[in-house]
């Protein structure tokens, strides 16, 4: 069985580096430390250390990027469906492995993969979970323990601009490593589709890097923030005004199938692939009865296994 080892040291520091390759509260820098210019009068007794810095945040920081984002209310959730972001998961970098396994392999330590899968299927590993600060053993098929989180939840993206995106752009967002992290499943399900105004990681040391990653994703894809979301992110970044944006290792456009097309809504409200070509382009073939996208029009012999 091929083994892709990670060092013990990498696992120990992964909690601090996983969300942005930087500490949650970086060391002070001359260009980013909040300063107050001398005045001729004493400050008001109500002035506190959390007062907004007099100088604008430095270029490249999460605060600078946040203040450049549009601020609007949420749009309607009407029409949202996970399938509107493409089938989960695509092979978005054309390396022969689906995005979920790519993300697991990149973030787990002591990774073991399934023989005969070209190193693609991750069987086990250890996660230094950023959301809780705990080490979690991952085992494929265990059904709990580790989820791959969309840092900007897809339904949140839908109501902050993605509803108007073409399918290929939504599929890119759903498969972009910048927006994906393996995390504690329980914490991820508590988060749901919340933004920073409704949920933050319980492990406080990663909150600065967490909101910086959300800002980076929204800036990259042209999404907006709500007033409450912006205020919540600013409150976090007040404690780390020099927090940089995470390095975007997928700066080039995420690759999705050129002929990917919107699924066809069925009469009962489910979303189906329009053809087997669409299912294959999404990496979902064969599609079994009960799978997302399955429809009788794809299953010519009626055996419950379509697009074989």
- 37-53 residue pLDDT tens: 444 444 444 443 444 44
- For 74-92, what is the mean pLDDT? 87
The answer to whether residues 7 and 116 belong to one domain is: yes
The answer to whether residues 185 and 264 belong to one domain is: no
The answer to whether residues 125 and 237 belong to one domain is: yes
DSSP state, 285?
-
Higher pLDDT, 189 or 273: 189
203 touches 133 (CB < 8 A): yes
Burial class (CB in 10 A: 0-12, 13-18, 19+), 27: exposed
Domain range spanning residue 64?
Answer: 3-19+58-256
- For 83-105, what is the mean pLDDT? 86
The answer to whether residues 281 and 298 belong to one domain is: yes
What confidence tens digit (pLDDT) does each residue in 43-80 have? 444 443 444 445 667 778 999 999 999 999 999 999 99
Instruction: Compute the distance between CA of residue 134 and CA of residue 183 in angstroms, rounded to an integer.
Output: 10
Checking if the pLDDT of 20 tops 60, the result is no
Location of structure tokens 């599929």: 171
Residue 50 maps to a domain: no
Residue 147 maps to a domain: yes
State which of 228, 256, 284 marks the end of a domain.
Answer: 256
Q: What's the confidence (pLDDT) of residue 87? A: 75
DSSP state, 83?
G
The answer to whether residues 281 and 197 belong to one domain is: no
The answer to whether residues 298 and 235 belong to one domain is: no
Residue 180 maps to a domain: yes
Residue 130 maps to a domain: yes
Q: What's the confidence (pLDDT) of residue 55? A: 62
Percentages (nearest 5) of helix, strand, coil residues in the chain: 30, 15, 55
The answer to whether residues 81 and 68 belong to one domain is: yes
The answer to whether residues 218 and 278 belong to one domain is: no
Residue 214 maps to a domain: yes
Q: What is the mean pLDDT of the chain?
A: 79
- Confidence grade of residue 170 (pLDDT, cut at 50, 70, 90): very high
The answer to whether residues 215 and 288 belong to one domain is: no
Instruction: Compute the distance between CA of residue 141 and CA of residue 121 in angstroms, rounded to an integer.
Output: 11
Checking if the pLDDT of 214 tops 70, the result is yes
Query: Which segments of 28-109 does DSSP mark as H helices, in order?
Result: 62-68, 99-107
Higher pLDDT, 267 or 167: 167
Higher pLDDT, 193 or 287: 193
- Confidence grade of residue 283 (pLDDT, cut at 50, 70, 90): low
Nearest alpha carbon to residue 4 among 126, 148, 118, 105 = 105
The answer to whether residues 142 and 290 belong to one domain is: no
The answer to whether residues 211 and 247 belong to one domain is: yes
The answer to whether residues 289 and 306 belong to one domain is: yes
Location of structure tokens 């949202």: 80
Instruction: Compute the distance between CA of residue 186 and CA of residue 39 in angstroms, rounded to an integer.
Output: 50
Q: What is the pTM of this model?
A: 0.68
Q: What's the confidence (pLDDT) of residue 298? A: 74
Checking if the pLDDT of 138 tops 70, the result is yes
In total, how many domains does the chain have? 2
């Amino acid at each position: 069985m091929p083994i892709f080892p990670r060092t013990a040291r990498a696992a120990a520091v992964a909690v601090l580096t996983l969300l942005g390759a930087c500490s949650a509260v970086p060391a002070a820098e001359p260009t980013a430390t909040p300063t107050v210019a001398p005045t001729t009068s004493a400050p008001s007794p109500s002035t506190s250390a959390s007062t907004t810095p007099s100088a604008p945040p430095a270029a490249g920081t999460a605060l600078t990027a946040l203040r450049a984002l549009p601020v609007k209310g949420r749009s309607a959730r009407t029409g949202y469906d996970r399938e509107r972001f493409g089938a989960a998961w695509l092979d978005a970098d054309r390396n022969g492995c689906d995005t979920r396994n790519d993300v697991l392999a990149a973030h787990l330590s002591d990774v073991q993969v399934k023989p005969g899968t070209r190193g693609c299927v991750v069987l086990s590993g250890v996660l230094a979970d950023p959301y809780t600060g705990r080490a979690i053993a991952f085992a494929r098929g265990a059904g709990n323990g580790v989820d791959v989180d969309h840092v900007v939840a897809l339904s949140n993206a839908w109501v902050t601009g993605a509803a108007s995106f073409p399918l290929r752009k939504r599929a890119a967002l759903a498969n972009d490593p910048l927006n994906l992290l393996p995390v504690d499943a329980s914490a991820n399900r508590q988060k749901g589709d919340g933004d920073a105004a409704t949920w933050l990681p319980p492990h406080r040391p990663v909150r600065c890097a967490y909101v910086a990653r959300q800002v980076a994703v929204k800036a990259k894809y042209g999404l907006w923030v709500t007033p409450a979301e912006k205020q919540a992110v600013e409150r976090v970044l007040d404690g780390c005004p020099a927090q940089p944006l995470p390095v975007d290792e997928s700066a080039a456009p995420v690759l999705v199938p050129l002929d990917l097309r919107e699924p066809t809504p069925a009469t009962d409200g489910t979303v189906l692939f329009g053809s087997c070509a669409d299912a294959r382009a999404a990496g979902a073939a064969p599609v079994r009865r009960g799978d997302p996208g399955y429809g009788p029009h794809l299953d010519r012999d009626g055996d419950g296994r379509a697009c074989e």
